[in-house]
Copies of this chain bind each other. A is one copy, B any other.
Amino acid sequence: MSAEEKEKKKKVDPRRTIDPAALEVMDKNDGQIETAYDRYVKMQPQCNFGRTGVCCRICLQGPCRITKKSSKGICGAHGYSIVARNLIRAICGGTGAHADHSRHMIYTLTEMFAGKAGDYQIEDFDKLYRVADRLGISREGKSDEDLLKEVYNCAVSDFTKLDDEPCKWLETTVVPERLKKFQECNVSPRSVHTTISEVMGQTHMGVDSDPVNLIFQGLKSSLADYVCMHIATDISDILFGTPKPVYTEANMGVIDPEMVNIALHGHNPLLSEMIVRVSREMTDEAKEAGAKGIKCMGICCTGNEVLMRQGVPVLTNFLSQELPIMTGAIDAMVVDVQCIMPGVQAVSECFNTRIITTMSHSKIPSAYHVDFDEEHAMEKAKEVVRIAIEGYKERDESKIDIPDHTHNVTAGFSFEAMEDLLGAVSPDAPIKAVTDAVDSGQLRGVVLFAGCNNLRVMHDQSHSHLIKELAKNNVLMVATGCAAGTAAKMGLMNAGAVEEYAGDGLKAFINQLNEANADKLNGNKLPLVFHMGSCVDNSRAYDFTNALAVQWGVDTPKVPFVASAPEAMSEKAVSIGSWCVTLGIPTHVGVVPEVTGSELVNGVALQIAQDVYGGYFIWEEDIEKSVEKVLAALDERSWKLRVHQQTAEKYETTLTKTW
């Protein structure tokens, strides 16, 4: 990098967001309290070896870096091996994170069966039956608890088994062609845990140096990730209910200075669901402390979990997680696992916010810690709320300054909720409402917005821009995770946005659903972007794709469905993107991952993957080009789908090639 470039990089403006609430807080603070935005600027320039994936730290002889001078590592590893190894360890990190989440759901069932988790029970029997049916478990003559036990045993098996039978959660959620493909290419995971262990072994010093072989193992890990994510969502729905439409608000204006304000942050609903419940029962305690009551608000995916099921307002998303503390009115920020910046602690120390860690394997030095366990869930939840109430009592009113920005939000669109809405238009086959709209050209296809925020790009900008442009182009949109967070905060997750941004086709489609579901919606109207849940719930979006494939009678690589993670940040995003591709979905990523140091690995991601699996990556940071590329990917598929249908109709034959 030239001195000039370095200087330019150094001068990055820390105001890297388009969220007006975030900007307001940031401007008032004027850099006095350091946040991620400032640390990003300080961190420039960043190491380009790491950035392009050619830095190897796998053995104690390293670090080795691929340069013109040294084109191989000390052991003789080529750049392609190093890049591939780093990549699949990242996928494995994502799988490990989701496995942790999912395993906690399984442990909760273990405790329930042992009579030790009385605060949890089956909330959604229909979901239990649906999952049991899907897994091929007969319900005849079985109690609900017995049925849940059988589901549980399947989940434990998918997590732990050593044999090479396909995981049940993979086998029963994809079209047969997909499963066959996975088995042919040896990417069908033995189990979640076995696969994670395999990746760590295969990437050890002096094991695999074949980049394609490594990447295939990475894809296997991504499918293990899909399995454990789907398990987590299914168990969450059984225990806490499958989301249905809810109506609330988003962005920092939701903070009420007269309430005890609790921010719920992280990714796990096990404790946060309990906190939301007990906070409703503890109003008197809050009143005794002088507050009007207790208000819970969500950050990241714990926020999405309680939004989807309880209608809890959205406070903010990943990147701006430190900023609500700076309003001076957050009494406690309760965190569980994943995407919690350790930086929240230092910011909290300038205000009166208690950071409360709650999981024994996820602590922050100096923070409060309430050690959550399933056996004492409600009790622990109350302990947490009481710490918040104590915080309220000691608030410094002079520091309170809440930005006045909110937007209405309609959320709660599990796949089941979507089916329910679509069923009002197409009762026999709900999903046909979508396939018909695509076939007729009313809709151009379906896009999932998923993933995180990343300071490499302007916070919330790519999400917002893509949503608006795709709306104009009549694309039906679903969203999860921090992408959904952006849509909520930026006013794109309500009926007003349909009016403002939707093209004629999309508008007509949504209005048809509004009319057909008028009785259910109680005077509300559907949003521009349908919130499908937290990032662990991305399997809901795949259920949607799969249903489209089944309805069209094709394998997923023919379905005009694209995933987009414009601001991908975490290893989970790398893993989710990889399973999207393996499951046949074109996947746009707005932040180029650390693979460009190897043309070979990059080529596999962008091209070879398509030849083998039908899905492929699109790296595109430019927001205008991103719109074009996502639309092109949809159009290519719509076009092929029409050819397929015409051919099938004309010759009454099925195509021999899967795509």
Residue in chain B with minimal CB distance to A86: B57
Q: Do B106 and A59 have beta carbons less than 8 Å apart?
A: no
Interface positions, chain A 74-95, Cβ under 8 Å from B, are 74-78, 81, 86, 89, 92-95
Tell me if A508 counts as interface (CB < 8 A to partner B): no
Q: B161 near A61 (CB under 8 angstroms)?
A: no
Q: CB distance A204 to B572 under 8 Å?
A: yes
Q: Of B103, B106, B201, B342, which is within 8 A of A75 by CB?
A: B342
**Which B residues touch A72, using CB under 8 A?**
39, 342-343
Q: Which residues of B contact A26 (CB under 8 A)?
A: none
A255 at the binding interface (Cβ < 8 Å): no
Residue A647, interface by CB 8 Å = no
Which of chain B's residues have a CB closer than 8 A to the CB of A17?
A: none
Pairwise interchain contact B160-A161, C-beta atoms closer than 8 A: yes
B-side contacts of A345, CB under 8 Å? 76
A603 interface hit (Cβ, 8 Å)? no
- Does A608 sit within 8 A of B, measured CB to CB? no
- The answer, yes or no, to whether A97 is at the interface (CB within 8 Å) is yes
A45-101 contacts to B, CB under 8 A, are 46-47, 49-51, 55, 57-65, 69-70, 72-78, 81, 86, 89, 92-101
Given contacts A42-B69, A205-B338, contact A60 B364 (CB under 8 A): no
Q: Is A466 an interface residue (CB 8 A)?
A: no
Contact A55 B58 (CB under 8 A): no
Pick the contact of A193 from B101, B196, B206 — CB < 8 Å? B196
Assess whether A192 is interfacial by the CB under 8 Å rule. yes
User: Contact: B342 with A207, CB < 8 Å?
Assistant: no
Asked if A208 is at the interface (CB within 8 A of a chain B CB), the reply is yes
- Is the pair A47, B65 in contact by a Cβ cutoff of 8 Å? yes
Q: Which of A209-217, A290-298, A385-393, A483-491 touches B?
A: A209-217
Please, what's the 1-or-0 string for A352-379, where 1 marks a CB less than 8 Å from any CB in chain B? 0000000011111100000000000000
A520 to B571, CA, bound (A): 58
Nearest B residue to A56 via CB reads B50
In contact, B78 and A361 (Cβ under 8 angstroms):
no
Contact B198 A361 (CB under 8 A): yes
A572: nearest chain-B partner, CB-CB:
B204
Query: Which of chain B's residues have a CB closer than 8 A to the CB of A50?
Result: 55, 57, 62-63
Hey, which chain B residues are within 8 Å of A204, CB to CB?
Answer: 93-94, 96-97, 100, 337-338, 570-572
Q: How far is the CA of A202 from the CA of B337 in the complex (A)?
A: 8
Whether B42 lies near A62 (C-beta < 8 A) is no
Min CB distance, A282 to chain B, in Å? 28
Asked if A477 is at the interface of the complex by the 8 Å CB criterion, the answer is no
Is the CB–CB distance between A363 and B100 below 8 Å?
A: no
Flag whether A36 is at the interface (Cβ < 8 A). yes
A194 within 8 A of B: yes
Residue of B nearest to A186 (CB): B360
| The residue from B94, B202, B206 contacting A100, defined by CB atoms under 8 A apart | B202
Shortest C-beta distance, A356 to chain B (Å), equals 14
Q: Which of B99, B201, B209 contacts A99 (CB 8 A)?
A: B201
Q: Which of B75, B93, B161, B341 contacts A36 (CB 8 A)?
A: B75
Give the number of copies in the complex. 2
Given contacts A200-B93, A456-B61, contact A338 B207 (CB under 8 A): yes
Partner of A200, one of B75, B95, B454: B95
Per the bound structure, the CA–CA distance linking A361 and B339 in Å amounts to: 32
CB-CB contacts below 8 Å: A7-65 with B? 36, 39-40, 42-43, 46-47, 49-51, 55, 57-65
Cβ-based interface call for A549 (8 A): no
Say yes or no: A96-B65 contact (C-beta < 8 A), given A39-B76, A160-B161, A207-B338.
Answer: no
Taking each of A209, A213, A569, which has the highest tally of chain B beta carbons within 10 Å of its own beta carbon?
A209
A60, B593: Cβ atoms under 8 Å? yes
**Contact between A361 and B208, CB atoms less than 8 A apart:** yes
Q: Are A60 and B160 interface neighbours, CB within 8 A?
A: no
B59 touches A569 (CB 8 A): yes
Q: A42-B70, A201-B96, A365-B210 are in contact. Are A51 and B63 (CB under 8 A)?
A: yes
Per the bound structure, the CA–CA distance linking A65 and B77 in Å amounts to: 24
| CA A137 to CA B61, docked complex, whole Å | 44
Find residues 236-264 in chain A having any chain B CB closer than 8 Å to their own CB.
none
Which B-chain residue is minimally distant from A300 (CB atoms)?
B206
CB-based contact A197/B39 at 8 Å:
no
Decide if A591 is an interface residue (CB 8 Å cutoff).
yes
Interface assignment of A478: CB less than 8 Å from any CB of chain B: no
> Is A207's CB under 8 angstroms from B76's CB?
no
Separation of A57 and B97 alpha carbons in the complex (Å): 16
Provide the residues of chain B in CB contact with A198, threshold 8 Å. Answer: 96, 100, 361
Q: Is A312 on the interface with B (CB-CB < 8 A)?
A: no
CA distance A62 to B570 in the complex (A): 10
Q: Does A199 contact B (CB under 8 A)?
A: yes
B362 & A208 in contact (Cβ 8 Å cutoff): yes
- A197-B193 contact in complex given A77-B342, A569-B60, C-beta closer than 8 Å: yes
Question: How long is the Cα–Cα vector from A498 to B176 in the complex, in angstroms?
Answer: 67
**Which residue of chain B is the closest to A335 with respect to CB atoms?**
B206
Question: Hey, which chain B residues are within 8 Å of A573, CB to CB?
Answer: 60
Verify A197–B100 contact, CB threshold 8 A: yes
Judging by beta carbons under 8 Å apart, are A342 and B76 in contact? Answer: yes
Contacts of A217 in B (CB 8 A): 361
Is B205 within 8 A of A569, CB to CB? yes
Known A-B contacts A160-B162, A363-B208; the reply to A455 vs B197 at CB < 8 A is no
Nearest B residue to A567 via CB reads B60
CA distance A39 to B78 in the complex (A): 12
Q: Which residue of the partner chain, among B42, B92, B322, B341, contacts A206 with CB atoms under 8 Å?
A: B341
Q: Closest 5 interchain pairs by CB?
A: A76-B343, A96-B200, A100-B201, A50-B63, A193-B193
Q: List 16 A-B contacts (CB under 8 A).
A: A43-B73, A46-B64, A47-B63, A51-B63, A55-B63, A59-B569, A60-B593, A60-B594, A97-B201, A97-B207, A99-B197, A103-B162, A156-B162, A201-B337, A204-B571, A213-B360
Q: Besides the contacts A42-B70, A204-B337, what 7 more A-B pairs have beta carbons closer than 8 Å?
A: A40-B74, A46-B62, A97-B207, A106-B162, A196-B197, A202-B361, A207-B337
